[in-house]
Structures are given as structure tokens and as C-alpha cells.
Structure 1
Amino acid sequence: MMELLSLSCSSHTSPVDFRRESGLFQKKIISRNPLATSIRCSSSGVAGKNAGVSPITTTSNPPVLPRLLIPELPPGGNNMSSPIISCFWEWKPMINVHYEKSGMENMESPPLLFLPGFGVGSFHYEKQLNDLGREYRVWALDFLGQGKSLPSEDPTTTTASTADQSSWGYGEQTEPWAEDLVYSIDLWRDQVQNFIENVVREPVYIVGNSLGGFVALYLAAFNPDLVKGVILLNATPFWGLLPNPTRSPKLAKLFPWAGTFPLPARVQSLTEIIWQKMSDPECIHDILKQVYADHSTKVDKVFNHIIEATQHPAASASFASIMCAPRAKISFDESLIRCKRQGVPICLMYGKDDPWVNTFWGLQVKQQLPEAPYYQISPAGHCPHDEVPEVVNYLLRGWIKNIESEGKFSLPLLEDSKDLENDISRDIEFVREGSRRLVRIQVYGTCLSIWERISLFLKSYVTRLITMSSN
């Protein structure tokens, strides 16, 4: 049964860029020359943590194809860029989901849905909505408990003893609408499922970064009829600390609290300490510095949006709920197996220089899905869609075109059928703000076993350690 929709839309506006003059990263560090540090590929195909390390030359280096020039992004703020509309959808009473959309006039094109990573929201896909919205219908949503999908009222009752608290979720009792509310991966899967059924109303291509990648795969495993294909961008292969009550009921009973509201007193004090650190602007700055490989990337807007979300009165309790929520009913690997069995098309695009979800994890996915195209991008970190959107958008267009044409159009960068079996590398050039940029994409074939890749990874890692120690 289709639920009633309550949609409230407004024109998209950007937050104030209070570090416009110098740039967020430039406050503390010197920006890299993007051309000088663009190509940092090793034969292992797995990223080292440190940027600017010399490449490893071995006999197993894949052949480098001729350089390819791809289109630049459309300039923002004019009619060349697809406008973004900000909306709210009332999923359940008092539970509103914020999302953004673009390109709704492209009725003959397939729909795309973008799922964000932890701590960010739909704003992290601005470069996709502005660009891809010119050809496709595109949505990006905020997971409940994050971004602008935080509650509009306190989920707990306020008493005389708690009336002076500025934070929500610490009251005496749970409000009726928030009974059993836990910001878990199962809740997010249900949220995305209902969003597709009630807002998009047809199967979609789902693109997920980090946490969003896990949710995308998890949804596809249970609801393949809603998914045309899944694109994983440095997808995290694990989420949640506590056992799932459905999968491990006896073990779950050992944990009396699993993310519900209100927070227990012992959890409140610990949350306040951790949240004070996690929401500090300097801490957020340092995290962004870790996950972006090219520190010349402008992240002021992303920084501002994250800060804005941390100032919401429900932010700290929501953070505690997320951290203590149960794991998914099935694991990431089990979701992969289900998707493979059900024939869900999957594409992998991983930033090579991610210190958190390095490409070793992507190679494990590739081992389970040898026919899935795997594009490793460097320089790019945990968020390749924001760091090198020109490249990610180009690959997205090509992969969707291949799926929609049932293989009549070749996969991006794989025009020769022989390239599907063997590893290849290709330099990709594009223009951004008048300057030429260069990245290298390594495409993994189907022939090399995971053990061979692990061996290459270990050789790469040892060589990097030797190089670092000698410097």
C-alpha cells in the first residue's frame, strides 16, 4: 500500500562560505600541485596512506592506454547547470526525510538515487545533481538522524528536571511517535525502500558512498525489484557494533540498550564527552583533511553543512543512537552474494588514496564479483564523487549507458573486449576552473586472483615503508 506523501520544496541555497578567501585546507597546509601529484599508481592497485609517494615499477604494471580528455563540469549558477530543489517527505508522523532533486523534466531517462556517507547528506552530491541532472532524474537524500533529516521535535518528554537542557533525546520518557526509533542500518534500508516506492515510484540506479554503499547493497539484496543497478563508491564493508536481535536474539539480550530514546544516564555523560570532541570544528577539519587526497579540493561548503548539522539540538543523541545501533540482518558479503545470485548489476569506483576504506576492500568485492567493472582512481580519497566529480560522473554515464543498452555500448574505458580480462591503466585529463587536471584510472580485469593481488599489495606496502624510512 502506497503511503501518503507530504512534500515541501524550496529552491536550493548554499550556506555562507566563511572561509572563502583562503580555503579550508589552505589555512593549515600548502595545496599540492594537482599535475605534479596526480599519478600515484602502484602495481598493487591498493592505496598507501601517504600522498606523494613515488610509484612502484614492476613487471606487473598494467599497460597504460592513450590519455583521454573528458568534459568539465558545467559552471554553477547559470542555465548550463541543472538547478537543485530541496524537499521534505513525511515518511511517518513526525519523521521527515530531507532530500534534493534535479532534472525532473527528463522523464525518458532512468532515475538515479544517491546515498551519502556517515556525517554528511544530500549536499555532498551537489556536483552530481548539477551535472547529471541535465540528462537524468536525480535524487539524493539524507539518512534519518543525519543532515537535515533530524527530528523537528524532541523524541523524549521534557520534565522540570530536563527543561533547561538544550539537547534533545535526554528526557524522561519516549514520545509515542519515537517508540522503537533507532538510527540503524535496518531503519535506513527501510527508509530508502519506502522513498523509492513512494517518491521515485520506479526502480532506480543507486549510488552509495561509504555507509551509503552498504545501505545501497543491503537494499538491493532484499529488494532487487527496486534496483536497476548499484554503484559503490568506497563502500564501507561493515557497520554497527551490537548484534542484530533478529539474527542473534540471545546475544542481543546481553545489551539492554541498543540506540533507543531516551539515552540512559550512563550513556548520556559519555555521549556528551565524545560529542564535544567530534563536533568541534577543528576535529571536523582534521577528518576532512584525512579523507581528501588532493587538499586543493574546495570543501568549504561541505564543512559548513556538517557544522550546521552538529548544531541541531537532536544531533548528539542521534549520534549515540547511530553508534550503538545493531548491525544489519545480513553482512556486506552476504548482501553481495544475494545480489550476485539475483543478477543485480554492480559497478565499483574506488578512490585509491582512501585511508579508511582502501582499495583492498574493493578488491575483495571484485573477487566475489569478477565480472563487475572496478575503477580505481588516483589521486582520490574516501569521497571520489566530490574530489574528482568529472571522472565519477563520466564513468557513471558510461556504465549506465552500457546497462541500459544491454551491452550494445561498451563499458567506459573498456572499448576492446580483451580489456575486460586484463588490468589496464589510463590517464584522464579534464579542465577545472581554467586549469588542466590529470588523474589515473586503473581498471581491474577478471584474470588476476585475489591472492596474486594480496601479494602485490604486500610488495607495494613494504616498498612504501622502505621509501618512507629512507626519506
Structure 2
Amino acid sequence: MPLLALRLGLSAPRDLGRLRLRRSRSRGLVVASGAVKAPAAVVWFKHDLRVDDHPGLAAAVAAEPRRPVVPLYVFDRRILAGYSDKMLELLLFALEDLKMVLKSQESDLLIGLGNAEDVVLKLVNEVQAGLIFTEEEVEYRVRNVLASVESSLSNASFTSGNPPEIMVWSASLYDYKNPRELSTSHNQFLKEKLPMNTPLAAPSLPALNIEIETGSLPTLEELKGFLKESRTSEDNWVPLKSTSARSILKKTLSQIKVKTGVASSDSDGGDDTTAYYGTSGRKVQNSMFASESSIEVRGGTEITLDALAAYLKYLEGTGKASWQELHDKVRLSETRDGASFCTLFGPALQLGVISKRRVYHETIQYERDRNAGFISPFGYSTPTVTAAVDAICSMEWYWLLALKSQVCIEGNYPFRIWRWKGHLIQYTSVGHEGPSVLLVHGFGASLQHFRDNIGAIADQGCRVWAITLLGFGKSEKPNVNYSELLWSELLRDFIVDIVKEPVHLVGNSIGGYICAITAGLWPSLARSLILLNTAGSVVPSYSFIPLSEARLLLLFLRSRAGGILKEYYPTSYDPGAATVIESIFSFNLSIPLNFLFDSFGGKILIVQGMKDPLTKSKSFVSMLREHCSKVHIRELDAGHAPHDGVPSYLDVWWQKGDE
């Protein structure tokens, strides 16, 4: 912020959030005088679709009173990749509201369609922009878009002189000095007691007195058509994401009449993504929701703040029809204590319709009002306040971890961030050519469990991908119902959206079982399966599943739930870790491995550490040989994680699956 103030010859405005100069060039800007106007400032909106608590917009206005401020949104397929139809609909609602709010101040939102590099470059030349304000990003592909825009501007020529400077800002909940210095231990982070930032009021914008075509918002069908036309051959799998794992299982198992309970039961602990992201039902007039079937708050900041007030006052009752509708949605989406908050407000927070610190501020203010200005050290007074505060602080923590991983390289491999259903997922990629190998860890671990394998496999001429599943390591741990089906859909979407080609799936323990489900339900995504002491059971004729075989690992995990929490989160006790541990009690390993193997139909290699204390390895291998004749089996003198105990074996044997 001081750098920006010095650059424009102003005193540093207070509380404008965290801004930094992304690229600095000598421009020789002068403060405008008389009829001469300062170069325009472009405010490029991405995941910050609001005027309230917007440090970039506030800084653009405060920097120079006579500077034209040009708001811009670009429909770039790379930024919108992974958006469901439901999210696209919510995006359009948010943009419509943002455009209306800007117009009320005689400004407007310029709409671009295409690659951000082309749109931004054209606009910069048309309005002779000197500054571009844009929000800090942690997602790998969105950061790449920003880097491409920077490169495009650096290599272009401008009638006004030098390229514009890019100012990157963030609306952090905490007032920290440098993300590189942030502790990765949540306990240590809390001990530092960083001050909380106060949200900014919406600034008064100057009139947009520039003759330029602002563009209009597309309809949902037009936007879907644009994204479909923009797809490359690598995106042909996108339709696979439209059907949930549970739906496929029900259909398949009902056809062969498998008596596993999966075909007729909805109690597997997983969310039905088709229902969650399905086509909207009938629109409801003056509603906070897109339709009667929607359970996500839609619209702009004003509607979202009203919905938040209704949510916080859930226990007080209401006579307002719109609030009563939201209370009905709370009951519908409260699948576990506090889960309704993320379901209702997650998309609005992802789109930036409302900032995390605005939610935190409004929630704490409500708590103070209920308690005569005090905040009890023994907990909050209502479950909705607890849910909102816990969710916001958790989201902020994992965003900070993600930011640090992008600006501070630690370890042997660069960490990347992918946003899945609004949640931040950590992964890495090593190697640039050859077949793709995807490594999936077991319960309580992370991608670093393959630290001794990633480089060795890449050296054999492979592109190696390793992912930290939702709920583990430094990936986000939201308050959701964790299940094997949820994680299998995560792997499916990762292959479709990120890898973009079939992979050799390598999984350990429950990670192996998740890989088997992914390959069995979506065979086109896997080139082969390599399972390392996998969870799951072999069931003759798929007829029944003996508890002693199918649930031995789960019984062990459940008996050690407290110890696992201490072992895998020894100092941090990350937000949401307890929720993941609790999921042990809802796991369902009743889908037979041989059923999944038959559904996959490809090459399969089973690597079994015979000293595994969690499974009866000899019995398991015997069942595999008897009922899975096409499966290759390798027995190792190792434990539950053979790739860790004897890493060199995996580096060679993973290729067996492609013979």
C-alpha cells in the first residue's frame, strides 16, 4: 500500500486492504491538473463480484479523484473451467446485481467474452489505462491467466507510452505482514493473535464518462454455448461430470441385482452431486434462491447480507416469507451440525458476492448485540453463529496456506492449487511428457506420502500427478459428509479438468479403493490400476460381504480415531480435521473389488505388503487369485504402505499395469 501511495504522490489511505505492485515499470505519471485527466484505472473483477469491502475498487477511487475508473469482467473459459451449470447461473445473478449497483452510481460493468489477454489489452488501449487492479489468486490456472495478461501487456505497444502497472490486492481477514512468514501450524498461527481487518464501506465511484461499448450479459444458454464452443479435444470428458457416482452405482447394481445395499440405500455418506448441481426447478419470485429446488443463496451483496441475517436469527423465528424460506433451506441442508452454512453461502463466497471478513464482522456484531456487547470465552450463543465463524475462519486459514504455497516454494516439488466445488485442493505435477500417473494417498496422509516415488517415476519418462484429497494435508477440510464416493468424484473431476488424459491410477489403502471406484465407474479415465495394500474386499459372485473382511480396516481406524488425529495433526489441529476423522464412522466399503475390476476391464496390478498389520494379507491375496484371474499380483516384504517402506519396487512395477 505505501508503494501505491508513493507512486501516485498521495498519503496512504487507511484500511484499503492489502495491495502490492505485481509489476513495476517507470511510467512518469503526473497528477492531473486542469482539464488533463490521469490515465484510467481498470478494476478487473474475477471472484470479487461486489462493491462492498472491495480494496481494489476503493484504492482505484482514492488514488486520483479525476482518474476514470473502468470496471471489467471477462468471461474467460479458463477462469470458468469447472463451473457447473448451477454455478454459471449464480454467476449471472451476481453479475447482474453488480452491474445494477455500478449503474446506480453512473458507472457500469464492461463485459468481455474471450481470452482475458485480448480483452484487457484492447481495453487498456481504448481507455489509455495506467493501472489495473485485480484480486490476488491462489488457483494455479487463474494465476496463469494473470501471468498471461502481464506478458501480453509487457510485449505490446501503447499509444500512451508504457504498459499499465498491475496492482494485486486481497481482502484478508487477518492483518499479516508477509505470507512467507505465516506459520503453517494452526496452533502457532492462533497464538500470534493477529489483528482482524475491518471490512471497507462501498466507495463512491466517479461517473464513467468514457465513450465505450460496455457490452451486455449473456443468457445462461448463451454462456453455456460459448463455453461448449471453446472446448478443445481435451475437454471431451466434461459431460462425465454430470452424473454422480451414486447414480451410476444404483443403475449398474440394480441391473445385476447385487445385494450390497448400495443400490437401494442413500446412507453411504456421500452427497449426490447431481441433486446439488442439477437443473433448476421453477423460479420463485422475490426469493433469495434461484428456484424452489435450489439451496444456494443467489444474487448480489444486498440479498446475501439479508440471507445471512436470516440465517443467524434462525432460532428466533420470523414472520417474513423470504426469511421463512431460508429457514426451510437450513433444515434441508443441515446434513451435519453446521453444514448448512457452506451449502447456503459457499457459492456466494466463492464468487466474492460477499467477502469473508464482511460475514465475520456481521456475525460477530450479531453475537455482541445478543450479549450486551460481550463475546463469551466459552463459545457462541447460537449454532448458526458458531457455524458461520468456524466456516469463515477455516476458509481463510486454507486460503492463507494456499497463498503461502504459491509465493514460497518448499520441498522438492512445486505445489499447485485447484478449486473443486469451491474448496481448495493441493496437488503437484512433475514431468512434461509421457504417460500420466496419478498418485493417491491413504487415510490421514497427503501427496507427500509419495515423496520418494514422484521424482523416480518422472525420471522414467512419465508425467506424475499427486493429489492431496479433500480433508487431508493442506487441502481444505470443509464441513461436509466425507465418503469414498465423494473422493471418487474428486478424482474424476481432477482427471477431467486438470490432467485431461487417461491416467495410470496408483492408490494406497483407502486411496486404492477410491482409485478402484473411479476406474470402475468411469473406465475411460484410467489406463491401468495399481493398488498398494488397498482397502476393500473380494466377494464371490458379488453376493455378500463378510464384515470381518470388508470392515477390518475401518474397525481399526475407528478404534484409533483419537490417536490418528494426534498422529497426523500433531501440532496444528487444522480446522475441520475432527470432521474428517468422524467420517470413519460413516465409511462404506461394501462395493466388491472384483465388481469394480470387472467394470473397469483394464490392466490391474495389486502390490501387497505381506507384513500389513491392518489386513489378512495371505487371505486377501488368495481371494484375489481365486476370483480375479486377470489381476497381476506382487507380494512384498513390506507393511501397509509398500511404496514408503520399499519405494524402489513401485518405481519399476507401476509400469506392469500397462503391459
TM-score by length of 1: 0.47
Query: Which structure would you say has the larger Rg?
Result: 2
Using CA pairs under 8 Å that are at least 6 residues apart, name the structure with larger relative contact order, 1 or 2: 1
Q: Which has the higher strand share?
A: 1
Report which of the two has the higher share of helix. 2
Please give the TM-score of this superposition, normalised by the length of structure 2: 0.34
